Amino acid sequence: EYGYAMAAPHTLTVWEAQFGDFNNGAQIIIDQYISSAEDKWNRMNGIVMLLPHGYEGQGAEHSSARLERFLNLCAEENIQVVNCTTPASYFHALRRQLQRPFRKPLIVFTPKSLLRHPRVISTLEDLSGGKFEEVIDDNKVTVKSVSRVVLCSGKVYYDLLEQQEKEKADDVALVRLEQFYPLPYKQLEALRKKYTHATEWVWVQEEPENMGAWNFVDRKIEGVLKTLDIKAKRPDYVGREEAASPATGLAKVHQQQQEALVRAALAG
C-alpha cells in the first residue's frame, strides 16, 4: 500500500488493520518509511492507515492501536494523527487528504463501537458543507458557568456525555481533540481564553497512564500555557493506572475501570 500510494498520489490508498493492535507487525515499515521517508529521502506519501482503537472490553489484543507509538514518531510535521468521533469528521479527514496540494501519511484511529453507536451521527449538511475540525468544543454549556473543562479524544467522549447528562453537570465542558498532530495550538489557545472561569482542566483517556496520548498532550499543553503566559496549572490526568498490558482481559474489570474513570472525570 505504501508503494501504491507512492505511484498513484492522487488515489486514496488505505491500509486497514482488523484491530489496531495488528499494526505491531508493520512497525518496521512505519519506522523506516511512513514516519521518516520525507526527511530521509525527500519523498512525500499520502497513505492512510485505519487503526481501530477503543477500549470495549475485548482484551489486550483488541483494544489499543498503540497511539503513543505514533505520537512518539511525530516531529517536523511528518505525519497526521487523528481520532475521529463523528462520521463527518471521518469523512472530511479523508477528503482533506486528497484535496491538499501535498501528501502526508494520515493515521486514523477509528473506534469500532462508534460504527453502531446511536448518537454517532452527522447530517447531510455536515458532510456536504462542513470541514474537518481539529477540536470540537462543547456548544451546549454556558461559558460563564463552566468551572471544569474535560479534554478527551475518541469514544470515551460518548461515555462522558452520557454521564454529564445523567448528573446534569452543567458546569462541565466536554472538549474533543480530533487531531493530535499537528497539534491545533490556535484552537487550544482559544479554549484557554474562552473558559476563563474554569478552575479545573483535566485530560481523560481510556488507556493506562503510561500509554495513550497523556504524555504527549501534557507537555504540549504546558507549552501552550507558557505561550499565553497564563498562570494556570497543567491539566490533571484521569484514566487507568499504569499497566504492562494495554487492557485487562476480564470484561467485568474493564467495565468497573471505565465507570470509575468517567465518574472521576466529572467530579469537581
- Residue 151 and residue 160: Cα distance in Å, rounded? 11
Distance of CA 245 to the CA centre of its chain: 20
Residue linked to cell 484511529 = 109
Q: What is the mean pLDDT of the chain?
A: 92
Query: pLDDT tens digits for 24-66?
Result: 889 999 999 999 999 999 999 999 999 999 899 999 989 999 9
pLDDT confidence of residue 202:
93
Query: pLDDT tens digits for 226-257?
Result: 666 555 567 899 999 999 999 999 999 999 99
Non-local CB neighbours of 250 within 8 Å, separated by 6+ positions: none
Packing angle between helix 156-167 and helix 251-266, nearest 10 degrees? 60
Instruction: Say if residues 10 and 23 touch (Cβ distance below 8 Å).
Output: no
Task: State pTM to two decimals.
Answer: 0.94
- Residue 2 and residue 13: Cα distance in Å, rounded? 8
194 exposed, middle or buried (CB, 10 Å; 0-12, 13-18, 19+)? middle
